[in-house]
Amino acid sequence: MVLVDIRETKSVKAADVFLQVRPGKDFELITILRAMIKDQPISDAQVAETGVSIEALQDLVARMKAAKFGAMFFGMGLSMTRGKHMNSAALLTLAAEMNAFTKFVAMPMRGHGNVTGADVIMRWQTGYPFGISFNRGYPRYNPGEFSTVDVLVRGDTDCVFVIGADPGATMPQPAIDHLARVPTIVLDPHVTHTSRLAKVHITTAPAGISAPGTAYRMDEIPMPLRPALESSYPTDEEVTRRIKEAIQTKPDWMVEGPQRLETQV
């Protein structure tokens, strides 16, 4: 197990090798690894910028090529810092290029429940996992522009509908400030940071406990969930369906004039 991070974390105790990369140099480190596995020239100055020695990188490349099955796990330290989706794209490309030598996969670490499920369903329905805009009537994919955090930070939306998530607890302050400024509707079994600043909070039955459904493991294996307890609250699906039906039955005079639809996933 090789751990790459900007500081020593609790995972260091479980790792065989720890490589401490300088903050903001993830993309450079991955690019150098891509060059090394293909025996492309790199300069000492380029390696020095990463904070990792050339000997440590050579050892890592040797270990990767010698592996029978390698897995790269990455999280928000890579995908939500400087470089964002470019860092993730570089790592996914590295995993793909490693398959010229041995079996390698890359998997994002998930911090919230069933995030993988959202990615799987969107990929099945649109061909894209996230960062999707439907504002032209068809799905368009552009992480960094259509990703939820970017849309909120820019203040592009004039209304936000949150189902089973708590962006007010994890997103940057400008995004949280925008959630507080616009009409925010939250469906959640609990009071959360987001529901406290929302204009509307509808309490729903907790999925997998009082509401049936399907959750996806981090490796994309679907897990059917059967409710163990009854709840007097409606499910997320029922509330969403009733909202949709109410919109569809709206009188014509209420929908006259220019309309703008900004739907982000």
pLDDT digits (tens, 9 = 90+) for 229-255: 999 999 999 999 999 999 888 776 665
Residue 114: which pLDDT band, with cuts at 50, 70 and 90?
A: confident
Beta strand segments in 36-171, E: 69-74, 103-108, 132-133, 140-141, 160-163
Q: Tell me how far apart the alpha carbons of residues 238 and 53 are, in angstroms, rounded to a whole number.
A: 56
Residue 76 sits at the vertex; the CA angle it makes with 86 and 112, to the nearest 5 degrees, is 130
Per-domain residue ranges for the chain? 2-108, 115-254
pLDDT for res 19: 96
Q: Tell me how far apart the alpha carbons of residues 195 and 103 are, in angstroms, rounded to a whole number.
A: 44
Q: Tell me how far apart the alpha carbons of residues 187 and 162 are, in angstroms, rounded to a whole number.
A: 6
Q: Tell me how far apart the alpha carbons of residues 112 and 135 are, in angstroms, rounded to a whole number.
A: 27
Residue 50: which pLDDT band, with cuts at 50, 70 and 90?
A: very high
- The third-level CATH classification (topology) of the domain covering 115-254 is Rossmann fold (3.40.50)
CB 140 within 8 A of CB 106: no
User: 90: which 2 tokens?
Assistant: 């570089």
Residue 256: which pLDDT band, with cuts at 50, 70 and 90?
A: low
Report pTM.
0.72
Q: Tell me how far apart the alpha carbons of residues 89 and 72 are, in angstroms, rounded to a whole number.
A: 13
CATH number for the domain whose boundaries are 2-108: 3.40.228.10
pLDDT for res 224: 95
Give the mean pLDDT of 159-170: 92
End-to-end alpha carbon distance in the chain: 34
Instruction: Name the more confident of 113 and 260.
Output: 113
Residue 261: which pLDDT band, with cuts at 50, 70 and 90?
A: very low
Look at residue 184 and give its three-state secondary structure: strand
Residue 260: which pLDDT band, with cuts at 50, 70 and 90?
A: very low
CB 239 within 8 A of CB 204: yes
Cβ within 8 Å of residue 246, ≥6 positions away: none
Q: Lowest mean pLDDT: which of 5-9, 15-19, 106-110, 161-165?
A: 106-110
